[in-house]
Amino acid sequence: MALAAATVSRDFVLGDVVTTGGGVLHDARLRYRVLGDVDAARANGWILVFHALTGNAEVDAWWGPIVGPGLPLDTSRHAIVAANLLGSCYGSTGPAEAAARGDAPFPLLTPADLAGSHEPLLASLGVQRVALATGGSLGGMVALEWAKRTAVPADRVVVFAAPSVTSPQSIAWNAAQRMAIEADPAWRGGLYHPGPGPAPGLAAARAIAMITYRSSIEFEARFGRARTRRPDTFDVDSYLRRQGEKLVARFDAASYVALTHTMDLQDVGDHAEAARATSSRVGEIVGVGIDTDILYPAPEVRGWVEAYRPHTNARYVEITSRFGHDAFLIEFDQVSAILRG
């Protein structure tokens, strides 16, 4: 059994990447990990995972209960490959690196750009068949785009909590977050020096985002109007501030701005055309909605699945949860059942 080292990250050199909008990302690279049995993957297919906005390639960290031998992402029968998306800040080429070498402004990247960057990576690994490609939120957008264009046949693609086209409401939420970052004097148009940067702005952006990631049902049940931590502050206020502090400690504001723009640009185009392209590459595509999601509501996911269905093997599944958009990172029993298929 040839198990890839779970703790080893590697860099794959992409070279100059020309984006959908005509921009150029110079000397780009992907930081990626391979986890699982590579020999078994040649027989049973690989698993390809795309992470969400502030996620990374450490799939076993944020989806840990479903990763491992005998689990839905079965590392004894498959090998998982996951790359830090272009534009993020965990090793792949992102805005901070580009600014440091004078390549600002960082080009706009679409989900299609992020999907396309995986093609040469998979070719370099000798991937000839994907048993499962999956991701949630931004990762789901990339998975949906990857399904349209992959050169590698895939048995199944599972898209969690992601639309086929980003709605004006969702764009507005992201715009408000970027405004919070841009209002921070340390932002400096994205040309801030390495270090803390626009920390208060990023913390405020994260607080706004958390309102869209969770549901009013959870906020009521978890916090209500309690003030148990400080008599002058509601617990939900303290929670949002703490979430901001935690993100500032691990994420880069310029990457946050870049990737929220990427999410805004999601648009698969004509659904029939996209579905036919997917049908020639993918055995089954599954769209997963979340009943309490206010960022990408379940009807948006159901809508593109229904539009795909006449032209490809598409199926809709819904997660029931009080946790809202983040349920795909929390409701492991339901996610497991969906991924086991």
d(Cα 99, Cα 223) in Å, to the nearest integer?
41
d(Cα 67, Cα 59) in Å, to the nearest integer?
8
d(Cα 65, Cα 67) in Å, to the nearest integer?
6
Report yes or no: 310 and 279 within 8 Å, Cβ to Cβ.
no
| Contacts of 266 by beta carbon, 8 Å cutoff, 6+ apart | 110, 111, 141, 145, 162, 163, 164, 165, 166
What angle in degrees, to the nearest 10, is found between the helix axes of 271-279 and 298-308?
70
Q: What token pair was written down for 27?
A: 């000397």
Question: What are the start-end ranges of the H helices in the chain?
Answer: 38-44, 59-62, 95-100, 111-116, 118-124, 138-149, 168-182, 199-213, 216-222, 235-248, 253-264, 271-279, 298-308, 332-340
Using CB atoms within 10 A of its CB, is residue 320 exposed (0-12), middle (13-18) or buried (19+)?
exposed
- Residues serving a catalytic function are 137, 293, 325
Find the helix or strand (DSSP H, E) in which 15 lies: strand 9-18
Report yes or no: 229 and 107 within 8 Å, Cβ to Cβ.
no
d(Cα 244, Cα 260) in Å, to the nearest integer?
16
d(Cα 168, Cα 324) in Å, to the nearest integer?
19
For residue 318, the 8-state DSSP code is E
